[in-house]
Chains A and B, each alone.
Chain A
Amino acid sequence: MPDFQTILGCLLAVIIAIVASSMELMSKYQARTIGEIFFSPYYFFFVLLNAVFCTLVYWALPYISGILVRSEFLPSLENPLVRAITAGLGYLVIARTSLLDINIRGQTVGIGFDGIYSTLAQYLLRHHDLRLRRKMWEDFQKAFSSYPPHIFLGAVKLLMRQLSEYDREEFETTLARLKSGQPKSLDFCYGLYILLREYTEGREGAEAFLSQLNEVLKSDPSFEKTLREEFAAITS
């Protein structure tokens, strides 16, 4: 039966592992809200996967420590705090270890722990991504059925004026990519909506821009006409 200190150390290691793996997702989905990223069954299982591997490494650390740390640091591993930090930050070294690398259709697949960890992690992250995209599509459908298409272009232009110089450059580049090659009206609107979401706070943030512009256009018919013509000239 493990003592209290070992359990506490293991818990700390798991927390470190969860924070580290969550930071990876936060950097990938910078434009999404916390709720969108973390309230998902796929994220839960991803966390569980990392927690299981981290616990295994924490438990096995006294036996495999030679792989993870330099020999002069080995005695320090008896300290539960050092053991927890080493397992929490170093479990991926073991999880990513493969005995053999084979190439399947141009992709390297590791046979060993890497094969198990990578397959499960990729599956979960891919479905997490699909779930976020499906949510984005559903949000767009609601917006698309509420506003005429040129409102999306107007909202994006309105947002662009409020961005910092650094963000505006990237924003304009993406907008130029979306405009190229006479996109279909729906494709262009969806692209503009994704762009809007990249720089606003969730669905509500994008909705605020769309409704704000809708109000402006109601009181300015000439601006609405210009915007409508511009939208028609861009799309096929």
Chain B
Amino acid sequence: MEYSQKEVLKRVLLSLRQQGKQSIPELVFSTRLPYGVVQEAVKTLKKRGLIRIEKVNANPCVAEDASSLEIIELNE
């Protein structure tokens, strides 16, 4: 299924505005968009300076890169 970039960005931004900061997997559930599409949208929004990304570590026993979850928040 094809998704227009404008529509995808709008859905991601709306979800962040209504439900607050979220990780990419959470955005998959709230926007009902595929992971890859959300990931691309997040990259675009970051480039445009509309969002900021914070990393949280899921498991201190595992290397940080492998176990850090990106939390996306609106730049307001």
Contacts and interface: CB of A to CB of B under 8 A. Distances in A.
Given A140-B58, A177-B35, A126 B19 contact: yes
Task: Give the interface SS of chain A, mostly helix, strand, loop or mixed.
Answer: helix
Contacts of A181: 34-37, 39-40
A224 to B, nearest CB: 19
B64 to A, nearest CB: 11
A190 interface: yes
B18 A126 contact: yes
B25 A187 contact: yes
Given A126-B19, A133-B26, A144-B59, A190 B36 contact: no
B67 to A, nearest CB: 6
A141 B37 contact: no
B37 A194 contact: no
A188 B23 CA distance: 11
How many interface residues does chain B have, given as a range? Answer: 20 to 34
Contact of A174 (B24, B29, B66): B29
Interface residues of A, number: 26
Given A145-B61, A180-B37, A194-B29, A186 B66 contact: yes
Nearest to B10: A106
A104 to B, nearest CB: 12
A152 to B, nearest CB: 11
Contacts of B18: 126
A141 B35 contact: no
Interface of A: 126-127, 129-130, 133, 137, 140-141, 144-145, 174, 176-183, 185-188, 190-191, 194
Interface of B: 18-26, 28-29, 32-37, 39-40, 56, 58-59, 61, 66-69
Given A127-B20, A194-B25, 4 more contacts: A144-B59, A183-B36, A191-B28, A194-B26
